[in-house]
Amino acid sequence: MKIMINGIHANLRFSSAHIIPSHDSCGCIHGHSYFVDVEIEGERSGKFEFVADFKDVKDSVRKICEKLDHKVLIPINNKNMEFEGLNHGKNLSLDDFKDLENLDFTIQNKNYRFPIEDCVLLPLKHTSAEELSQYFADKVYENIQNKGYDISSISLIVNEGIGQGALYKKEF
């Protein structure tokens, strides 16, 4: 059995700016009005015989969308980004950034500075739709895994606009 949630109709949306470092056309700051579609497969279970309660799934996705909305998405594990004052070449953790007021970084010969509160630091290599769809799928599973559902997979699409998105399927 499968449940499906359409992100446009369920208002699972966020608007963010990002950079795909060193990419020809996406290597400059730009943004998207994203929406997130979700499919969850599994066995019906529990008192109401749900695959998963739509409310639980939508609440989980909305929390992630709210965190990313109107922020600059920063992939802290991108090899083309050098963060000022932090070790270049090592995988960084979110803790490495905890005491910063501003985020200073360089991509090739371009220098950037953002107030840290305007950014969401993500433990990703890129902030592409592909990476974001995997990030969302992992987080949604973390949020609903202890609710007693018998889930066999989560498929999540992060759409950069109508007709353009990336699907990640996480199987269990």
Map out the domains of the chain as residue ranges: 2-171
Q: Are 7 and 159 in contact (CB under 8 A)?
A: yes
Task: Verify whether residue 9 is a known catalytic residue.
Answer: no
Q: What pLDDT, on a 0 to 100 scale, did the predictor assign at position 55?
A: 98
- Share the mean pLDDT of the chain: 95
Catalytic residue among 26, 39, 82, 84: 26
Q: Are 138 and 170 in contact (CB under 8 A)?
A: yes
When pLDDT is averaged across residues 146-167 and rounded to a whole number, the result is 96
pLDDT (tens digit, 9 = 90+) per residue, 120-135?
A: 999 999 999 999 999 9
Return the DSSP state at 108: T
Task: Verify whether residue 41 is a known catalytic residue.
Answer: no
Catalytic residue among 43, 70, 88, 142: 70
pLDDT (tens digit, 9 = 90+) per residue, 67-88?
A: 999 999 999 999 999 999 886 6
0.85 exceeded by the pTM?
A: yes
Could you tell me what percent of the chain has a pLDDT over 70?
98
Task: Verify whether residue 70 is a known catalytic residue.
Answer: yes
pLDDT (tens digit, 9 = 90+) per residue, 17-47?
A: 999 999 999 999 999 999 999 999 999 999 9
Residue linked to tokens 């980004």 = 81
CATH of 2-171, one of 3.30.479.10, 1.20.120.1200, 1.10.10.10, 3.40.630.30: 3.30.479.10
Catalytic residue among 39, 84, 130, 160: 160
